[in-house]
Amino acid sequence: MTNEHSVFQTLKAAGYKLTLQRRATVEAVCAAENPMTPQAFHAVISQNHPEIGVVTVYRTLDILKRLGLLCQFQLDGTAQRFKAGSLEHHHHLVCRCCGEVVDFGRCPLELETTLEKETGFRITDHRLEFAGVCRACQGKENQGPQSFSGNTGEPE
């Protein structure tokens, strides 16, 4: 749970107006434990503010994203999901079952340097994600919302 106020300030500082709908969206984003889709945020927001439209939520999320205040997730095929948090922190453990996301700080940056040398790429970004089943979900699999890909491969 990120603190809303710093987000408000960043928004303000960047020249954005602090409207009711933006406040509501920021609140929802900061309150969310797991990454959620824009639609899902809208659903939450609608509970208190039925007047706010999805479009505005999309637009606000887009702003937050541009400001680097959101982590963006997109596992295969599924709609994009957002979670409050800095872009610099790209390392996550995603539960295939409930969508829970655990962050972890360590990352193999030396590899990055090595790769730059070997490939000539100028590396600007990376993403390291582990997917699996979190402790709570172990045993109750098979209803999960997302997967990295993976299926039987048999003709049906």
Partner DNA sequence: TTAAATGCAAACCATTTGCATTCCT
Partner DNA sequence: AGGAATGCAAATGGTTTGCATTTAA
Q: How many residues bind a second copy (CB under 8 A)?
A: 53
Q: Is 124 an interacting residue with respect to a second copy (CB under 8 A)?
A: yes
Residue 118 known to bind ligand:
no
Candidates 59, 67, 91, 93: give the one binding DNA (CB under 7 A): 59
The interface mask with DNA, positions 71-90, x = CB under 7 A, is: ------x-xx----------
Q: Are the beta carbons of 112 and 73 closer than 8 angstroms?
A: no
- Which one, of 61, 76, 66, 72, lies nearest residue 14 by Cα? 66
Q: Are the beta carbons of 80 and 68 closer than 8 angstroms?
A: no
* DSSP 8-state assignment for residue 3: -
- Which one, of 103, 105, 92, 95, lies nearest residue 140 by Cα? 95
Q: Are the beta carbons of 64 and 56 closer than 8 angstroms?
A: no
Partner from a second copy, DNA, none contacting 130, C-beta within 5 to 8 A by type = a second copy
Candidates 47, 122, 142, 143: give the one binding a second copy (CB under 8 A): 122
Q: Closest CB to DNA among 50 and 139? A: 50
Q: Are the beta carbons of 87 and 64 closer than 8 angstroms?
A: no
Q: Give the binding site for a second copy (CB under 8 A).
A: 14-16, 63, 65-68, 72, 74-77, 80, 87, 93, 95-96, 102, 104, 106, 108, 111-112, 115-116, 119-135, 138, 147-155
